[in-house]
Amino acid sequence: MLNRKILFLTGFSLLILLIFWQTTELGWLALLNDKEKLLVIIHNAGLIGPLVIIALIATAIIISPIPSAPIALVSGALYGHTLGTIYVVMGAVTGALAAFIIARKLGYEYVNKKLHHRLPVALAGSQNTLMMIVFLTRLAPFMSFDVISYAAGLTKLTPLRFLPQH
């Protein structure tokens, strides 16, 4: 079990490093910040353009340094307010759930062992309390949605109770 987690963590870390290297060294990060070029690329993607938007937003949630604002602006410009918003929300939910699952798979047992006896039972076990904490922290303008998603994965909050927060 431990070897599987170490292998998964190593593979995941290498994937993140590869994606980050791709975004910086090959100019993808600059491209993601250039709304005009990004608009042309997604427009030229045709029917899979919405899937590109969803995947880019999800990736920006999972890998925090990747900016999501230019992608959201392009989504609105290409698909209008309603559809553009739907695609961005779909990407945000996908990315947040992925971050939640990554944290759950990689860190939950460790955090549970280290803090199990230090957390109040009501806080550690109450789904309603945990859901309310996630909801309230999402309202705080200084809190990163990405960090909240990863932190929520380290709690006993179930994925179904986490999802309604989006």
Q: Cα(124)–Cα(122) distance, rounded to whole angstroms?
A: 6
pLDDT score at 55: 94
Q: How far apart are the first and last CA of the chain?
A: 32
pLDDT score at 124: 54
* Domain residue ranges in the chain: 2-165
Q: Cα(6)–Cα(111) distance, rounded to whole angstroms?
A: 16
Q: Cα(107)–Cα(161) distance, rounded to whole angstroms?
A: 19
> Which pair of tokens denotes residue 14?
């290498």
Kindly report the pTM of this predicted structure: 0.76
Give residue-wise pLDDT tens across range 50-101: 999 999 999 999 887 788 889 999 999 999 999 999 999 999 999 999 999 9
Torsion of CA 121, 125, 131, 136, to 10 degrees: 10
Q: Cα(162)–Cα(130) distance, rounded to whole angstroms?
A: 9
The pLDDT-based confidence of 165 (bands split at 50, 70, 90) is low
DSSP annotation of 116 reads T
pLDDT score at 105: 86
Residue listed under structure tokens 């992925």: 98
pLDDT cut 70: percent of the chain above it: 89
